[in-house]
Structure 1
Amino acid sequence: MRCEKCGREEVLPFRCAYCGRYHCAEHRLPEAHDCEFLHQARSPVEIKAMEERSQSAPLVKARLSSTSLRISSSEALHLSVGALLVAGVGATLFDLGRLGPVFAAAAVVAFVFSFLVHELAHKFVAIGHGYLAVFRVSPIGALITAISILSPFKVIAPGAVNIFGAPNSRTFAKVAAVGPLTNTLISSVTFALGFGLTALGAEPRLIHLTLTVARINALLAFFNLLPFGPLDGLKVLSYSRSEWLKHFSPALALFLIGFFT
């Protein structure tokens, strides 16, 4: 069997107790093969000390490395499944007759991009605060999303970013808020671009595409910031009402702009 780190043939490979992969003697330890579950290999004393440091100094970010920012093949698979489900929903959201196949395909790509940016923003901000974060497809959420492809009522919840560790409420709120924030920013930029293209008398399909992307991102930001259930809004509101309003107000404004224009 080959070592999954260096490819060396091993008659009796070592199996990592954390990730389950097989490695040679040189790479048998979790830290030697960049185990994605390295955090589980820390001693309880070390984990407790890390959490206490996080509570006492929440503004201090962990030093990032190329390993911590890496997306594993397993996570890439989960992201791909989520992206395909989102693409399926997006394909039924857009007016193919009005956009045409090229612009409709561009709209679906933009929709999937918005989803991926949202989820990866959660992941990388959590990593920036010293926590392992991995996107995982939710079987129930994926099923509901798949059903909504054929349903007039659309739900986009194929999965979520799981954070390993015990972040304090401030960090948890920051991680939650950054996802909808990416949609707010995309919506703001595409609304400005769409209105600018309208003023310049640009190609109508390009204008429709741009404004459609803006409206969908406004809806994603607004919906995710609602303070209910597992949504990001409740996590932010639980930490600070003013912080929640700071994020929710522009999302609501963009949602109303999209609704009335």
Structure 2
Amino acid sequence: MFKVTTSEIRDLIIAFIFISLSFSILYSGRNIAALQQIFPIVMIGLGLGFILHELGHKFTSMHYGYWAEFKLWPAGLIFALVSSFFGFVFAAPGAVYTYAGNYLDDKTNGIISLAGPVVNIVLALIFLFIAAAVYPLAFYDATMQFVFIVCSLGFSTNSYLAVFNLIPVWNLDGSKVLRWNIGIWLVTIAIAGIMTFMSMTIGVENIIRILIGF
């Protein structure tokens, strides 16, 4: 049975606000007026990805019969905010901890760790497809323009969350996936990396124009 504790909800909300604020600072160029405008957009496009990433870990852990709970990492909150002033975001405000006693085999641990980045990759593609669907209408309708902006940011930020978490260092998801299966790690980080690279170089709007031949 899926269960969320009161402390877990609190930690998720705090992490959600901090990670959204950090990316808003990054995208606004530290301009207060721009920050106020972009913050709610980031909360939808990125915040949804962050919450579903963590729930992906939690659901997968509980699928294997383990209790799992998200917990804040206070230092990670500070790192996220500080790094946003230097052109990137260290997106690790907390993590889902799986309580498996004294032993969790590499395969199970790898699958649990992979679940979060895969959620971000899938969500990024959903955002991209929605953005492509509303793109022609965004020129004439303010609501569709807002949806397009949210989805464009959702694609770029979720792609980044996926590739960041798949970096095989420290306690990030990538280190556990790599330890389990190098082939699966290579495929997933390649997909996330290409998506992130394209969003940072070509731009989401140009990706969509290529896709729909606009």
Shorter-chain TM-score bucket reads 0.7 to 0.9
CA shift at 1:205, angstroms? Answer: 4.7
- Within the candidate set 176, 192, 196, 1:235 is matched to 176
CA shift at 1:92, angstroms? Answer: 1.4
In structure 2, C-alpha distance between the alignment counterparts of 1:233 and 1:104, rounded to whole Å? 29
In structure 1, C-alpha distance between the alignment counterparts of 2:167 and 2:74, rounded to whole Å? 23
- Within the candidate set 31, 56, 59, 1:124 is matched to 59
Look up the match of 1:250.
191
In structure 2, C-alpha distance between the alignment counterparts of 1:123 and 1:249, rounded to whole Å? 24
In structure 1, C-alpha distance between the alignment counterparts of 2:39 and 2:13, rounded to whole Å? 20
> Larger % of helix: which?
2
TM-score, L = length of structure 1: 0.66
Whether the 8 Å contact between 1:98 and 1:205 is mirrored in structure 2 is no
Structure 2 counterpart SS, 1:157? coil
In structure 2, C-alpha distance between the alignment counterparts of 1:186 and 1:194, rounded to whole Å? 12
In structure 1, C-alpha distance between the alignment counterparts of 2:35 and 2:8, rounded to whole Å? 33
Look up the match of 1:18.
none
Look up the match of 1:214.
155
In structure 2, C-alpha distance between the alignment counterparts of 1:163 and 1:119, rounded to whole Å? 12
In structure 2, C-alpha distance between the alignment counterparts of 1:223 and 1:214, rounded to whole Å? 14
1:11-160 correspondence to structure 2 within 5 Å:
65=1, 69-95=2-28, 101=37, 104-148=39-83, 150-160=85-95
In structure 2, C-alpha distance between the alignment counterparts of 1:191 and 1:122, rounded to whole Å? 23
Which structure has the larger Rg?
1
Structure 1 counterpart SS, 2:46? helix
Gaps of 5+ in 1: 1-64
CA shift at 1:145, angstroms? Answer: 2.2
TM-score, L = length of structure 2: 0.80
Whether the 8 Å contact between 1:99 and 1:208 is mirrored in structure 2 is no
Aligned length: 193
